[in-house]
A = this chain, B = another copy of it.
Amino acid sequence: MQAPVFPKPYSCVSARDVSGKGGADVESFSTPPDAMRREHTALMEPLIRLTAHDMEHVNGLILSRTGSDVAMIPEVANHLISSGGKRLRPMLTLATALMFGYEGDGHVKLAAAVEFMHTATLLHDDVVDESDMRRGRVAARVNWGNEASVLVGDFLLGQAFKMMVEVGSLTALYILSTAAAVIAEGEVMQLAAAKNIATTPEDYFAVIRAKTAQLFSAACAVGPVIAGRPEADHNACALFGLNLGTAFQLVDDVLDYGGASTTLGKNVGDDLREGKMTLPAVLCILEATDQERDFWVRVMEEGDLQDGDFTEARRLMDKYRALERTVEEARRYADAASAALLACPANPVRDALASTVEFCIRRAS
């Protein structure tokens, strides 16, 4: 079995790659026409179909495990959970178990646990970012306060661990608890990098690897673990998830500057408003003129956002092909994810996962 080559984090986004190239058409990153969107969604269809039966059980479990006599807990949890996240992560857990022929029901609990870990992170994230919106709805912290978001997040984390323990696989527990610690580490890293225009591509990749890719990786690795497969299969799936998660986050960060809020359920421009240093901005700042640098300092570091700043940011991203180059980078990670899948058994589930990789990338176009 040949291990897929793990891409170097930012080699293809160095300045020399773009010298002499013209600006990209930023329009290509705006809302895709309906037909395109349908085509993209069709790429997710095989995964959704193959996991549909198990996802019903996951959704039932999510509902029952957010239950509590303390009324505020189901209120806050379901406000976020019912707001229509894609539930990609739990689907990945189900799929990677099914791909290896798993026939038990432990994957359902692990999938619900993964979704709870993700939801807890979002609740805590909103407190950290002081976000007012999440998935196109008012953030929980706005309705119930920061306190509730912190504590309900803690409750969901506790429930996640309980479900993992019930499944009884120490290896799965090790993978997911390690992910929990790494995710929190990544969040703190991001906090330190926030509003800091000296953030390098390395810093950025370290953050998204820890805070996004790690949970994708763990979500995928526990599938072959409970299917009783050898470590090589855990590693193949972990690598698949790590690369897919990285590609997914890169595309998310592109969409924040050019995507359609109807697709994402997230307001375009959030990252600029919050001074979040994502790769498109990092790439622009690396090559900025003195005047452009002043712009980024004002917007990102001083948080002094004025009318027309988003358009200006988009113009600069156009000038430096920052969105295109970020998508190119995402494509490299997506290719590495697909390569990792080749080490897994060829079957319809594997095909569905390959198609999901394509979906994640095509969202950006």
Contacts and interface: CB of A to CB of B under 8 A. Distances in A.
Contacts of A158: 177-184
Interface string A286-321: 000000000000000000000000000000000000
A99 interface: no
Interface size class of A (residues with CB under 8 A): 35 or more
A154 B184 contact: yes
Nearest to A177: B161
Contact of A72 (B71, B73, B152, B192): B192
Chief secondary structure at chain A's binding surface: helix
B188 A148 contact: yes
Contacts of A71: 192
A173 interface: yes
A200 interface: no
A72 B191 contact: yes
A162 interface: yes
A187 B151 contact: yes
B72 A151 contact: no
A167 B88 CA distance: 32
Contact of A161 (B70, B146, B161, B187): B161
Contact of A70 (B150, B162, B189): B189
A55 B152 CA distance: 32
A188 B72 contact: yes
A147 B127 contact: yes
A161 to B, nearest CB: 4
A128 B147 contact: yes
A159 to B, nearest CB: 5
A128 B155 contact: no
Contacts of A155: 181, 184-185, 188
A168 interface: yes
A68 interface: yes
17 contacts: A68-B185, A68-B188, A70-B188, A70-B189, A71-B192, A73-B188, A157-B180, A158-B177, A158-B180, A158-B181, A158-B183, A158-B184, A159-B181, A161-B161, A162-B178, A164-B177, A173-B173
Across the A-B interface, give the 4 residue pairs with the lowest CB-CB distance, nearest first: A158-B181, A158-B180, A155-B184, A161-B177
Given A147-B191, A148-B188, A151-B188, 19 more contacts: A68-B185, A70-B192, A73-B188, A124-B150, A128-B150, A146-B146, A151-B191, A157-B157, A157-B184, A158-B178, A158-B179, A158-B184, A161-B180, A162-B178, A165-B170, A165-B174, A166-B174, A168-B170, A170-B170
